[in-house]
Amino acid sequence: MRAEAIVDLSAIKANVQLLKKTAGTNLCAVVKADAYGHGLVEVATAALSAGADYLGVALLEEALTLRAEGVKAPLIAWLVQPGSDFATAIDNDIELAAASLTALSEIQSAKASKRARVHLEVDTGMSRGGFLGEWAELTPAHLEGIDVVGLFSHFARADEPDEKQNTDQLERFEAAIAHLNSLGVSGVIRHLSNSAATLKHSAAAFDMVRTGIAMYGLTPDITTLGTSQSLGLRPAMQVRAALHLVKDVPAGSPVGYGATEVTSRDTKLGIVAMGYADGIPRIARTAGVWVNGKRAPIIGRVSMDQCVVDLGPESTAKSGEWVVVFGNGSHGEYTADDWGAASQSINYEIVTRIGPRVPRIYAPHVY
């Protein structure tokens, strides 16, 4: 095996328990995008065993996969566009988000064997999904034949706890609740908080929080909220790869496509058997791997199937040896946060982009 992503399900469970205790309310474990790259069914099962009350996915296909694998828990899919197979979703007890009158009409018209369970999404200031102008046009007639079980929105800046927009969105959400109550609909599950709000904005917890990135042990924002460790979270994924080749090269050797970097000394280079087809960002410049107790930085451009690291002239690394691409940082290895910064991105992108050519191994981290 040339590369693998080791996923510690005990870390997932510990994070779910911490987040649920912090929220003091129900918790929806967000497992969209193959559980942020960690494995859809495996993570969903672990989260439920740790006390998660709901599962949340973006796509109908993700929800149907969970049902096909025997997952019976309450499940909401929130990016099911008009024209989708609503009847199949309803028949499989998949709760649906509706963000427009058109979506409501199609759900009402679905020829399903049972009543649809719907969460209404309102736009409180992110200008992405959710009812906006149409919210005032909503009438009881639009809700006939369906069960409205939830009302939700999404924070745009919860990872910046002091931003006024958070307060504005909370007030708009409360106004949306009042409007729904005026239509004779009450007792629904109100959910607004994402991971950052769960950790730092208790007033927004309502009846359920939706935790994504924090459930995987990663901070929503290392600059504004602190590290995973400072938040009490346990990163669940370690990615490691084999050194395809180790070789001595002289000073002045150009490395990689475009010869964007040249060795500044006689050194040893390691060719790591992972590239951008596996999720290593091509743009990354200041990250690397952990090998023999030290960091070895990337040198040159990342290729499709491999990348090159500068091991240093004194390295004793050998071809075939395993290196850690990222882990929890406890031994000095690079983290998903480091790779995000090196790629002008965020840790979310780093873990979700690890490709299908990298098998997921469900075991404790190996250091």
| 164-208 residue pLDDT tens | 999 999 999 999 999 999 999 999 999 999 999 999 999 999 999
Give residue 367's pLDDT band: very low, low, confident or very high (50, 70, 90).
very low
CATH superfamily, domain at 9-216: Alanine racemase (3.20.20.10)
What pLDDT score does 207 carry?
Answer: 98
- Average pLDDT over the chain reads 96
With helix as H, strand as E and coil as C, how does the chain read?
A: CCEEEEECHHHHHHHHHHHHHHHCCEEEEECHHHHHCCCHHHHHHHHHHCCCCEEEECCHHHHHHHHHCCCCCCEEECCCCCCCCHHHHHHCCCEEEECCHHHHHHHHHCCCCCCEEEEEEECCCCCCCCECHHHHHCCHHHHCCEEEEEEECCCCCCCCCCCHHHHHHHHHHHHHHHHHHHCCCCCCEEECCCHHHHHHCHHHCCCEEEECHHHHCCCCCCCCCCCCCCCCCCCCEEEEEEEEEEEEECCCCEECHHHCEECCCCEEEEEECCCHHHCCCCCCCCCEEEECCEEEEECCCCCCCCEEEECCCCCCCCCCCEEEEEECCCCCCCEHHHHHHHCCCCHHHHHHCCCCCCCEEECCCCC
Interval 144-163 mean pLDDT: 96
What pLDDT score does 364 carry?
Answer: 64
What pLDDT score does 363 carry?
Answer: 82
pLDDT surpassing 50 at residue 346: yes
Catalytic annotation, pick one of 13, 20, 32, 268: 32
Q: Where are the domains of the chain?
A: 9-216, 237-362
pLDDT in tens, 231-279: 999 999 999 999 999 999 999 999 999 999 999 999 999 999 999 999 9
288-291/146-152 β-pairing: unpaired
Catalytic annotation, pick one of 21, 114, 247, 257: 257
Can you tell me the distance from the alpha carbon of 254 to that of 108, in angstroms, rounded to the nearest whole number? 63
What pLDDT score does 289 carry?
Answer: 98
Pick the CATH number of 237-362 from 3.90.1150.10, 3.30.420.40, 3.40.50.2300, 2.40.37.10: 2.40.37.10
Q: Confirm whether 54 is a catalytic residue.
A: no
Give residue 88's pLDDT band: very low, low, confident or very high (50, 70, 90).
very high
What pLDDT score does 51 carry?
Answer: 98
Q: Confirm whether 32 is a catalytic residue.
A: yes
What pLDDT score does 140 carry?
Answer: 96
What pLDDT score does 218 carry?
Answer: 98
Interval 17-44 mean pLDDT: 98
What pLDDT score does 365 carry?
Answer: 52
